[in-house]
A and B are shown apart, each in its own frame.
Chain A
Amino acid sequence: MERYWNKEIECMSREDMKKLQDERLVAQVKHVYANVPYYKKLMDEKGVTPDDIRSTDDLYKLPFLTKADLREAYPYGLLAKPLSDCVRIQSTSGTTGKRVVAFYTQHDIDLWEDCCARAITAAGGTKDDVCQVCYGYGLFTGGPGLNGGSHKVGCLTLPMSSGNTERQIQFMIDLQSTILCCTPSYAAYIGETLHDMGYTTDDIKLKAGIFGAEPWTEEMRREIEKSLGIKAYDIYGLTETSGPGVSFECSEQTGMHINEDHFIAEIIDPETGEVLPEGSKGELVFTSITKEAFPLLRYRTRDICVLTREKCSCGRTLVKMSKPLGRSDDMLIIRGVNVFPSQIETVLIEQGYAPNYQIEVDRVNNTDTLDVYVEMPDEQFSDIVKDIQQKEKDLVYAIKTILGINPKVHLVPPKTIARSEGKAVRVIDKRKLHD
């Protein structure tokens, strides 16, 4: 039997949902125009006033926001409420100017946690469940979001954060966790460790997992489901819009229902910005229609997706988005961390290397690996092996400092990294996430 956290909203008729969105959008645009000079300027430049936005049919008239805008407006430029009304800050993992800081009023926290509660309920969670949250806690939205959702549902919540896997498993066994929330790669690792420790799925009580914050495949889903004896649900979100729970999977496991009462989704052509009809593949754009402190209008996620309103067997009428099928920029998500090749390039140049490099990303035993191949200039060469190994270690450290993840660095002779005509092939992603 399908469970809903808010059946009225989740199964609302299309007409009623549009009406709700229309009202909320009109009010939100007025709120933003009056309180966010940065966005008011964008609207003025486009010749759009709040009076031009009478319903969601007028959404296309509004200007887009991009990550570049968020950077430019950092930290307070897109804030729509006085700081005294805000109660929380969350931030993205980016560490080199790509960081996004989002603000929340108590109302914003409530709606975010409500979205997570819908995801947990769709995964079968009730107040009788024990929910083990192993997303990172802190500035990262994963831990706080699912933690809050779990409280709302009334689950007994284990705020484990990530890491210390053997302890995670000990708690899972001793306290009989029934729901696991973490990144899919960590879930796979927990499954592996469980079996390495000599346990089987008979020793645990898990029934469901809610996994997100990084791309994963259907094969990986089946693998996790088998090794932990659970049903694995996908969840999607981004700090810019609130965090996890913008959309979530139901029992059908064929895409994620977007919480449309809070977020209006559009698919656009990433080149022209033109809105594409339902079913088209394009860039996902979100408009927050209920958030108070950090209400982004038409925020370009750079995730390439497809939206569908086909009837879902779970009974929900909320529009469904596919798993992200790729990116419209060159961002990579490695072990849940956003990585831009340009960040690695900057490190190489600072360390005295030419920007002749290649990044190879792979997934070995369900964990992402990052290999960086760098051509060694004559000045860096030494006839002593340990000197070269030290240079590799220095680069590993410098990249780790910037990205927060450990790469393997390989120095290679000049001209051995394939040159291509025109644009260099900087990234080889062997993970096969999108086919």
Chain B
Amino acid sequence: MLIKQISVFVENKPGRLSKVTKLLAENNIDIRALSVADTKDFGILRLIVNKPDQACDALKQAGCTVSITNVIAIGINDTPGGLSDVVECLYSANISVEYMYAFISKSENQAYVILRVDNNDRALEALAENNFTILRSDEVYDM
């Protein structure tokens, strides 16, 4: 089960980020999770939102460079070693993690991890075999 993440190319200049967040607010988009990767010149804003297609269209119309990427969302125990187990599982299955980011859920003792890997199918297989909780897209969007 894959989740749609939207990625936005943002120049590393004052005001560029606020343009994106403002646009999302105006379109009534609720952000579930985000991470920013940045270099000296540019950043990539990665977002999990409640309405990814609508968010993507709105950003495109505003002239942003934006793409939708399929990522995996899993639930883990919010205890020491929780994340380590996931990474270990992927490493054993010879899957490369391009990047990941985590956020804590409203329910107790639960954390969520967004994984961007080089092979989604194999990653899903390995995670399922090791009994990790893989989230459905509606669970994430409507969180």
Binding site for B on A (CB under 8 A): 376-378, 381-385, 388-389, 410-416
Contacts and interface: CB of A to CB of B under 8 A. Distances in A.
Per DSSP, chain A at the interface is loop
A382 to B, nearest CB: 8
8 contacts: A381-B9, A381-B65, A383-B5, A385-B39, A388-B9, A410-B41, A410-B42, A412-B11
A413 B42 CA distance: 9
Interface in B42-91: 42, 44, 46, 63-67, 69
A412 B5 contact: no
Contact of A415 (B7, B42, B63, B116): B63
Contacts of A382: 7, 67
A302 to B, nearest CB: 34
Per DSSP, chain B at the interface is strand
B42 A411 contact: yes
Contact of B67 (A381, A410, A415): A381
B98 interface: yes
Nearest to A377: B65
A413 B116 contact: no
Contacts of B98: 384
Nearest to B6: A383
| Interface residue range, chain B | 20 to 34
Contacts of A381: 7, 9, 65-67
B23 interface: no
Best-buried of A376, A383, A410 by chain B (most CB within 10 Å): A383
Nearest to A410: B41
Best-buried of B10, B39, B46 by chain A (most CB within 10 Å): B39
A414 B63 contact: yes
Contact of A384 (B11, B63, B116): B116
B107 to A, nearest CB: 28
Contacts of A389: 39
A413 B67 contact: no
Contact of B65 (A376, A384, A385): A376
Nearest to B45: A383
B103 interface: no
Interface in B82-108: 98-99
B9 A384 contact: no
B39 A376 contact: no
B39 A378 contact: no
A382 B41 CA distance: 15
Contacts of A413: 9-11, 42, 63-65
Nearest to B68: A383
Contacts of A412: 11, 41-42
Contacts of B66: 378, 381
Given A382-B7, A385-B37, 20 more contacts: A377-B65, A378-B65, A378-B66, A381-B9, A383-B5, A383-B46, A383-B69, A383-B116, A384-B44, A384-B98, A384-B99, A384-B116, A385-B39, A388-B44, A389-B39, A412-B41, A413-B10, A413-B11, A414-B63, A415-B63
Given A383-B116, A385-B37, A413-B64, A376 B9 contact: yes
* Interchain residue pairs A-B with the least CB separation, the first 6: A383-B7, A383-B69, A385-B37, A381-B65, A413-B65, A415-B63
Nearest to B99: A384
